[in-house]
Amino acid sequence: MIELLYFICAGAIVGLAIGLTGVGGGSLMTPFLILFGIPYHVAIGTDLLYAALTKAGGMVTHARQKTIEWRIMGLLALGSIPASLLTTHFLSRVFTDSSDYQSILTHSLGIMLVLTSIVIIFRGRLSADAPQKTLKPKKYSDIIVVFAGLFLGIFVTLSSVGAGAFGAAVLMLLYPYLKTVKIIGTDIAHAVPLTLIAGLGHFFVLGNVDLVLLGSLLIGSLPAIHFGTKLAKRIPSDLLQTLIALILLGLGTNFIVS
């Protein structure tokens, strides 16, 4: 019972941070769970389903507001969904036990945390520069975004990190004519099916999901996200984002070299 309370509190802390800063749950929740002593594979698998469920509401809202570019979302999914399925299949066929592929998960997590921290630090500059860029998509943007989806499909499945901040940065660079709200909406719309399929793969194929842990995290985080969103208007989120980015950078580096 005490352990469940710890995880509810953990969900609340991460949920509050998400509401205050907008930083994705995957980059925060997975390392947080690992620090709590949850095995890497269980932390990653559980966090994937956590991300899908917490972002689903945002996807519905953006769909109602018509702030999702479905064609671009489809291009991302064209690369990411098959890549996620193949990654899960690879892990299940090549390795007999989760301990055999832990080093792959560890280093993938480290790489994506470092990349995410860099994106968070420079995200404001990307947004500020966007109006100065051409209002036309860059040449070969559609092809590149499919390969970006492929990259995300592999590494989100291996680390549960990157579907949010990294995906949004790719869209900002490739489609500078899009309004920020449409970039966010498209990114969330892509993250939901990707994390859901990757999470279900971890659950049904690899057995890497703890449903009790998942429920505890949701109980703590969902109201905390709402509260954090309301509180964000009174707190300088840029400072908090930079602090979180530096923490993620340190954690990611540690996972890479460990």
DSSP SS3 for 201: helix
d(CA 246, CA 252): 10
User: Is residue 207 predicted with pLDDT exceeding 70?
Assistant: yes
The ranges assigned to domains in the chain are 2-257
What was the pLDDT predicted at 125? 65
Report the C-alpha dihedral over residues 158, 160, 166, 168, rounded to 10 degrees. 130
What was the pLDDT predicted at 52? 93
In the structure encoding, which two tokens stand for residue 136, read together?
């036309």
What was the pLDDT predicted at 58? 85
What mean pLDDT value characterizes the chain?
88
* pLDDT more than 90, % of the chain: 52
Average the pLDDT over 102-112 and give the result.
94
What was the pLDDT predicted at 198? 97
Buried b (16+ CB within 10 A) or exposed e, 227-239: ebeeebeeeebee
Higher pLDDT, 141 or 1: 141
In the structure encoding, which two tokens stand for residue 30, read together?
């997975």
Q: How many angstroms separate the Cα of 110 from the Cα of each of 40, 113, 129, 160, 181?
A: 12, 5, 28, 11, 29
Helix (H) or strand (E) holding 239, with range, is helix 237-257
* pLDDT more than 70, % of the chain: 90
Q: Quick one: DSSP state of residue 232?
A: G
In the structure encoding, which two tokens stand for residue 71, read together?
């064609």
d(CA 24, CA 245): 11
pLDDT band per the 50, 70, 90 thresholds, residue 178:
confident
What was the pLDDT predicted at 128? 55
d(CA 12, CA 25): 11
* Contact between residue 91 and residue 194 where contact means Cβ atoms under 8 Å apart: no
